[in-house]
Amino acid sequence: MKILLTGGAGYIGSHVLVCCLQAGHDVCVLDNFSNSSPEAITRVEALCERKVHVERGDIRDIALLRRILSEGGFDAVLHFAGVKAVGESVAKPLKYYDINVAGSITLAQAMQEAGVYRLVFSSTAAVYGDQSAMPLTETSALGQAASPYGRSKRMVEQVFEDLQMSDPRFGIAILRYFNPVGAHPSGRIGEDPRGEPANLVPYAMQVAVGQREVLSVFGDDYPTSDGTGVRDYIHIMDLAQGHLAALDYLVSTSEYRVWNLGTGRGHSVKEVINCLNEVTGKVLPLRIVERRPGDTAQCWADPSKAVADLDWHATRGLHDMLADHWRWQQQNPDGYGKR
């Protein structure tokens, strides 16, 4: 297949790019590198021994999208481009609605004009309400997301659902990610956060390599087994392979479908830290602090719909995720270097 990958230089996009190239697909990446480095693409090219066509530009640029899509002969679009910092989204909601919502609408308009009807979209478990029982299924109640970021993702889901209803030529897969962690086992590509990491594993990794002094545990008084928050961490390569499975599904059907991509297993913050201590051979310095506003006690997936429909399931456990993430972190303490 010929695939347009928006945001293909980012953390998730670059790992999906590897899977696409290894599956023999022809891929064009569209990225403005606002949160990534061209070095990620260079490394993917070296890993896969394939060249990737790269368009530097913005998903909100309709003229650019028209040109790329009308000239390209694409069979599908995998849409990762967007902004994802929960805290920043509270301070700058318009940026989030503009890039995530308006950008996705612009992309869909250009796809419709060019007659490209297969679309896979990166959504998030943050769209579920925090009162739902665990594990979360695709039919669990959708809540009032805790942030403009979460709401922007839910809005795009709704836009795409309406679009598919109005134009049944579209096949649209919504993938609700749980917590992606890890890196390609080569250690050549991985997550490269800018500034202070907002998420647990990237922060803990920077503590482990000595770039930060202490890991704050956000609350140990949750109603969970050990009092710390529980999440469904999923290996980035398992997550990436879920995209190829969704793409395969869209080859034979034109529908709007939603799938959870998670492992079905929750781990507490303390379990993650214990496993990380094992993997790194260090004891991470910790301090228990207040709960982080907007956090829920627990969140994990029921992935059985993806297992049934897509014949996909996560095969790697927490130890694999942290070992691969640690390899990337050790080999690239400064990520892809200066951006």
CB 232 within 8 A of CB 266: yes
**Least distance (Å) from ligand NAD to the CB of residue 252?**
25
Q: Pick one of 203, 271, 305, 307: the residue that binds ligand UD1 (CB under 6 A).
A: 203
Given the residues 11, 149, 177, 336, the one annotated as active site? 149
* Closer of 114 and 275 to ligand UD1 (Cβ): 275
Q: Pick one of 38, 227, 294, 317: the residue that binds ligand UD1 (CB under 6 A).
A: 294
Q: Which does 99 bind (CB under 5 to 8 A by kind): ligand UD1, ligand NAD, none?
A: ligand NAD
Contacts with ligand UD1 in 163-202 (CB under 6 A)? 179, 198-200
CB 134 within 8 A of CB 266: yes
Q: Is the dihedral of CA 263, 187, 19, 76 positive or negative?
A: positive
Instruction: Say whether residue 96 binds ligand NAD (CB under 6 A).
Output: no
Q: What's the token pair of residue 8?
A: 């293909």
Residues in contact with ligand NAD, counted by CB under 6 A, come to a total of 26
Instruction: Say whether residue 21 binds ligand UD1 (CB under 6 A).
Output: no
Q: Pick one of 23, 34, 45, 187: the residue that binds ligand NAD (CB under 6 A).
A: 34
Q: Confirm whether 11 is a catalytic residue.
A: no
Instruction: Say whether residue 12 binds ligand NAD (CB under 6 A).
Output: yes
Q: Pick one of 31, 138, 232, 324: the residue that binds ligand NAD (CB under 6 A).
A: 31
Q: Which range touches ligand NAD (CB under 6 A), out of 47-55, 75-83, 135-143, 308-316?
A: 75-83
Secondary structure, 3-state, the chain: CEEEEECCCCHHHHHHHHHHHHCCCEEEEEECCCCCCHHHHHHHHHHHCCCCEEEECCCCCHHHHHHHHHHHCCCEEEECCCCCCHHHHHHCHHHHHHHHHHHHHHHHHHHHHHCCCEEEEEEEHHHECCCCCCCECCCCCECCCCCHHHHHHHHHHHHHHHHHHHCCCCEEEEEEECEEECCCCCCCCCCCCCCCCCCHHHHHHHHHCCCCCCEEEECCCCCCCCCCCEECEEEHHHHHHHHHHHHHHHHHCCCEEEEEECCCCCEEHHHHHHHHHHHHCCCCCEEEECCCCCCCCEECECCHHHHHHHCCCCCCCHHHHHHHHHHHHHHCCCCCCCC
Instruction: Say whether residue 177 binds ligand NAD (CB under 6 A).
Output: yes
Q: Which range touches ligand UD1 (CB under 6 A), out of 26-34, 71-79, 287-295, 301-309?
A: 287-295
Instruction: Say whether residue 122 binds ligand UD1 (CB under 6 A).
Output: no
Contacts with ligand NAD in 106-125 (CB under 6 A)? 122, 124
Instruction: Say whether residue 36 binds ligand NAD (CB under 6 A).
Output: yes
* Closer of 164 and 280 to ligand UD1 (Cβ): 280
Q: Pick one of 3, 4, 5, 9: the residue that binds ligand NAD (CB under 6 A).
A: 9
- Residues in contact with ligand NAD by the rule CB under 6 A: 7, 9-13, 31-36, 58-60, 80-84, 99, 103, 122, 124, 177, 180
Q: Which residues are catalytic?
A: 149
